[in-house]
Amino acid sequence: MLCTARALGMAVVVLAYPGEVLAQRRRPAASLADDYIVSPYLLDPVRALEAVKHYERKTGLTPAAVIPVNDFVLEAGSAIARQYAIPFHSDAVILRCRDKLLMKTELAKAGLNIAPTLAVNEGVANYVFKDQEKVIFKPSVFGGSGGVRLVSNPQELQVAINDAAKLLHKYKDILYIDPERIHLEAFLDSELEVSVEVYCRPDECKAAAVTHKQLSPRPFFAEMGHIVPYAGFDYDALCMTAEKACRALGIERGVSHVEIKIVDGVPFIIEVGARPAGDRIIDLVYRSLGIDLYALHAKSYCDIWDDMPLIKRRGTAAVAFLKTAPGMITRINPIALPEGVHELSLYKGVGDVSDRDAQNFETREGHVEWFWPIEYQDKPDFMLQTARLAADLFEIEQTEPGPAPSFTR
């Protein structure tokens, strides 16, 4: 998106937090920005707008576009866009996409499959389990798999509630969220999950790519790997399902991210984000299919509506997240990288602690991006290769016993 702004002759100002936020270190690409507006609590719409107005008074500059890159910035982005009369999502669209319960209601009205909601807020703690029943506990306005857990009895449910409360209260002011919004939903028992990137315009929602997701072992649902393109026979049907979901929520601008669970061949919408995917997926789409979703997304917030480009299959791209044994990192070893590695990035260093389980965005130690050109026939098991790299990279001082991590496929 920085490159897109450059091509349009625009300066780039990033609204940023002081320090490091959300477990990942600031990316080198951020240094390409022309300037920063640095202030705490920038996702509070009032404070975000105050910070931008202060920047305007200081520099004389006003925003030409506000481009959202994750769920949490939507309310603040809307406040800024409204003040300066520039394009953005409507408040109704933002509400439908930020609140998972309202989202599910709208999707169901459109005839799309969803996981039924079983209890909300105060009713969650008192839920009565049926015999052998498993359900999903979720925060209703969070993300990054934070707090999401499979539970099957009141004891497991209470652990999930307590752990989520710690996480949500840690981030509630930073992310401008309500930590009390929680719910239970039916468990969709399937390992097959995909996401679809959809380019939305006022007259059309068009799917660009389907990504096959790799999840951490239950009871958690952290995303530990992604591969583009998905190779399933139902590729086109999933694209149509994702397009229908975006239309049902009224999304008419930018790139949206639709997550789908496939149960016995039937697609169920997990959630829809009115923003591009995270976890490097947009980079994977560009590398493998030649579609610059960053450009389409950024231009749409300037009311520049490019057509979806034709797919030019270049190869297969993937990202896998590093997960090491639990304990304190005491050394990071130099290693030889296998064929196919495009990038390796670490989120943690010496002195940091690795958790036993891959629970959410906080409990990953780094990532490895992979790419194999289209003529490459024998693609390796990139999840297994990444697990081996993690074992070679990190030396750990054990703080608790536990098995080595494994991942579902």
Cis ω on the peptide bond leading into residue 405 (within 30° of 0)? no
DSSP class of residue 386 equals H
Neighbours of 401 (CB within 10 A): 8
Per-residue pLDDT tens listing for the chain (409 residues): 666 676 677 888 887 766 555 444 445 556 677 888 877 777 899 999 999 999 999 999 999 999 998 898 999 999 999 999 999 999 999 999 999 999 999 999 999 999 999 999 999 999 999 999 999 999 988 877 888 999 999 999 999 999 999 989 988 888 888 888 999 999 999 999 999 999 999 999 999 999 999 999 999 998 999 999 999 999 999 999 999 999 999 999 999 999 999 999 999 999 999 999 999 999 999 999 999 999 999 999 999 999 999 999 999 999 999 999 999 999 999 999 999 999 999 999 999 999 988 887 778 999 999 999 998 878 889 999 999 999 999 999 987 555 544 444 3
174 φ, ψ (degrees, to nearest 5): -65, -45
SS (H, E, C) 114-166: ECCEEEEHHHCCCCCCCCCCCEEEEECCCCCCCCCEEECCHHHHHHHHHHHHH
Kindly give, in sequence order, each residue whose CB lies less than 8 Å from that of residue 327, ignoring residues fewer than 6 positions away: 353, 354, 396, 397, 398, 399, 400
Of 376, 386, 377, nearest to 406 by C-alpha is 386
Measuring CA to CA, which residue among 162, 161, 164 is closest to residue 172? 164
pLDDT at residue 24, rounded to an integer: 44
Residues, the chain:
409
Integer angstrom CA distances of residue 17 from 25, 28, 31, 42, 61 = 12, 16, 14, 7, 20
The residue type of 345 is S
Write the CA distances from 208 to 15, 276, 282, integer angstroms: 28, 12, 10
Contact 148, 261 (CB under 8 A): no
- From the list 4, 71, 70, the residue with the least C-alpha distance to 33 is 4
Provide the CA 69 distance to its chain's centre, in angstroms: 10
Dist. CA 383–CA 358, nearest whole Å = 14
Which two three-digit tokens encode residue 125? 């703690």
Domains of the chain: 2-88 (no CATH), 93-97+190-313 (3.30.470.20), 117-186 (3.30.1490), 317-397 (no CATH)
For residues 222 and 215, the answer to whether their CB atoms sit within 8 Å is: yes
Look at residue 3 in the predicted model and tell me its pLDDT: 67
- DSSP tag of 363: G
Closest CA to 360 of 155, 90, 209, 149: 149
Q: Measured between alpha carbons, how far is 305 from 104 in angstroms, rounded to an integer? A: 29
- pLDDT for 101 equals 92
Residue 29, pLDDT score: 56
The pTM score is: 0.91
Residue 403, amino acid: P
What the block records as the tokens of 321 is: 């997240």
How far apart CA 289 and CA 297 sit, in angstroms, is 16
Max Cα distance, the chain (Å): 65
